[in-house]
């Protein structure tokens, strides 16, 4: 009886892509980890790119949408994360710009604050924690400070806090 034939590099790549959208760099890394021949990896990626099964621009857009709408990330972190996927910076910038033209970053910021806060800001320590967390999420410092100052209005402990600086 004949031994079953091992799947080709192209077939392995298709299976990986069937699970989730991957960038060219991610796909290359995963195929390399499986110790497949480099020439076959490049041939499979070329074919998949030609067939549009792999498209870094589409991957960047999908990631940017998910980052903004689900993960509640700001533009700078979204761009950095897309670049970390192995997508070139110009493609990452275009994807982030397109998504944040459609999605209002201020509303994403408000949703991110609401997710972390149940009521007004109680004290300066909480303000600082929220401020730092939102900066890590990729929002601009001035927008974060302005949004948090609004949330702390009327709080006696917070009064006298100069210009929203933490």
- The pLDDT tens digits of the residues spanning 40-68 come to 999 999 999 999 999 999 999 999 999 99
Residue 15 exposure: Cα atoms within 13 Å on the Cβ side: 8
- Position 154 confidence tier, pLDDT thresholds 50, 70, 90: low
- Summarize the confidence of residues 124-146 as an average pLDDT: 95
CA atoms of 77 and 103, how far apart (whole Å): 15
Q: Which residues contact 67 (CB under 8 A, 6 or more apart)?
A: 73, 77, 78, 81
Percent of the chain's residues with pLDDT above 70: 90
- The pLDDT tens digits of the residues spanning 93-121 come to 999 999 999 999 999 999 999 999 988 88
pLDDT of residue 152: 84
């Amino acid at each position: 009886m004949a031994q079953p034939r091992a799947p080709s590099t192209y077939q392995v790549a298709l299976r990986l892509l069937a699970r989730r959208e991957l960038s060219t760099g991610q796909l290359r890394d995963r195929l390399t980890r499986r110790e497949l021949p480099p020439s076959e990896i490049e041939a499979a990626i070329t074919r998949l790119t030609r067939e549009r099964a792999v498209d870094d621009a589409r991957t960047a857009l999908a990631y940017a949408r998910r980052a903004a709408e689900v993960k509640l990330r700001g533009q700078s972190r979204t761009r950095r994360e897309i670049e970390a996927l192995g997508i070139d910076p110009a493609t990452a910038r275009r994807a982030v710009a397109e998504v944040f033209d459609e999605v209002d970053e201020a509303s994403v910021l408000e949703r991110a604050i609401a997710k972390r806060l149940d009521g007004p800001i109680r004290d300066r320590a909480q303000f600082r924690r929220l401020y730092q967390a939102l900066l890590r999420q990729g929002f601009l410092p001035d927008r974060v400070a302005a949004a948090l100052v609004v949330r702390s209005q009327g709080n006696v402990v917070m009064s006298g806090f100069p210009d929203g600086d933490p």
